[in-house]
Amino acid sequence: MVLDNTDAFTEAMAEDFGTRSKAASLFTEVVGIIPVIEHTRAHVAQWMRSTALMRAARLAGLRAEVQPTPVGVVGIIGPWNFPLNLVVLPAAAAFAAGNRVMIKMSEITGHTARLMSDLAPRYFDADELAVVTGGPEVAATFAALPFDHLFFTGSPSVGALVGGAAAANLVPVTLELGGKNPVVVAPDADLRRAAARIAAARMVNGGQVCVCPDYVLVPHDRIDTFVEVARETLRGMFPTIATNGDYCSSVNAANFDRVLGLIDDARSHGATVETVAPAGELLPDRRARKIAPTIVRDVDERMRIAEEEIFGPVLVVQGYTDLTAAIDYINARPAPLVAYWYGPDNEDFRGFIRRTRSGGVARNDFAAQMIPSAAPFGGVGRSGMGAYHGKAGFDAFSHYRTVVGSDCRSA
């Protein structure tokens, strides 16, 4: 379905975002899902096999095995930032495990939702896949249905509501949430390489990505150089912004205003705010819903930007005195979806892994933890519950049933 209709999907997403390039949509929504689905196709027959239990059962005269079985009907509530990718991948995992699927598409990306709803009956029977559209009231009703498993991608605040609705029916959930993903630039990192990569990563999808770097911790004496390189990188990537088809818009006015509110609040409390707009355009542009790349320094706890996930083209850069202080700062906050490290693979890095808690860890690159097709993807604590991709997705939507037969004869 996706491969047959890539042009239609990319056009729908461009309509939804206002500005989102076809190349960006193809890479994030289509190319990115293929390896995970192909890995599942290649291994699902093996995952479906029953597993014989240990010798102790045989010694007791029992024949025992564990059979993976479908849970039944899986509900999927999708987000707006990647409206195709983040419903297709969990649906593929649910289908691989033998389930039926109902999808609630995000109303914020209405063109994509309607296209998905129109296409689904052409490729699936009604009792295999149903696609639901509608606003928050529909979503609330959907979350309250007695599914056999409910999968949600979105914010922690809405995730808590979804989890509560599911709990009323004793429905197990997978919650793929977000959070403030930290980046630690090690004292011995290649600073120029790190700054360039981090700045570029922050701008993917206009910063509207749950695994984007949210704030960067840099040694105090290297902050100026880091910001200089980040600025150069952003200038090179986006010589213009307002009419640049490669610069993704905020998805709607609400997110546009929310991000501007975070910037204004930080500025009003004494933060240093720098916008990167090489062409001297008048930004932010409300009509195009575009905010210039923004670097924020001197952030403290009074500022909302220190606590709230940004989800926009804004990078917070903070200094640290030593790695212990950086790790303590991270650990004082809810566990993020991913923690980034830029620096060598050495004892400092291994200590960073041991002493922090996150859904995943990536070193020296953006979203590297998501590249291996077999790797589970999911959060921990406030950034999520459960995982999918690869066998983790098959397991999430399977019930492992123990089947035991006795060879004992009656006396």
Catalytic residue among 11, 15, 128, 210: 210
**DSSP secondary-structure letter at 26?**
I
Told to judge if 212 belongs to the known catalytic residues of this protein, a careful annotator would answer: no
Helices (H), 238-368: 253-268, 323-331, 347-355
Q: Are 368 and 362 in contact (CB under 8 A)?
A: yes
Q: Which long-range contacts (CB under 8 A, 24 or more apart) does 269-274 make?
A: 269/300, 269/302, 269/303, 270/298, 270/300, 271/296, 271/297, 271/298, 271/299, 271/300, 271/303, 271/305, 272/296, 272/297, 272/298, 274/227, 274/231
103 Cβ neighbours under 8 A, 6+ residues apart: 75, 76, 78, 87, 91, 116, 120, 129, 130, 131, 132
Q: Are 305 and 268 in contact (CB under 8 A)?
A: no
54-66: b (≥16 Cβ within 10 Å) or e: eeebeeeeeebee
State the DSSP H helix or E strand holding residue 360, giving kind and residue range, or none if neither: strand 360-363
Helices 191-202 and 223-237: crossing angle in degrees, nearest 10, is 50
Distance between CA atoms of residues 365 and 384, nearest Å: 22
144-177: b (≥16 Cβ within 10 Å) or e: bbebbbbbbbbbbebbebbbebbeeeebbbbbbb
Catalytic residue among 176, 212, 248, 309: 176
Distance between CA atoms of residues 393 and 92, nearest Å: 9
CA R_g for the chain: 23
Q: Are strands 149-153 and 294-297 parallel, antiparallel or unpaired?
A: unpaired
Told to judge if 309 belongs to the known catalytic residues of this protein, a careful annotator would answer: no
Distance between CA atoms of residues 335 and 330, nearest Å: 8
Residues annotated as catalytic (active site), given as ranges:
176, 210
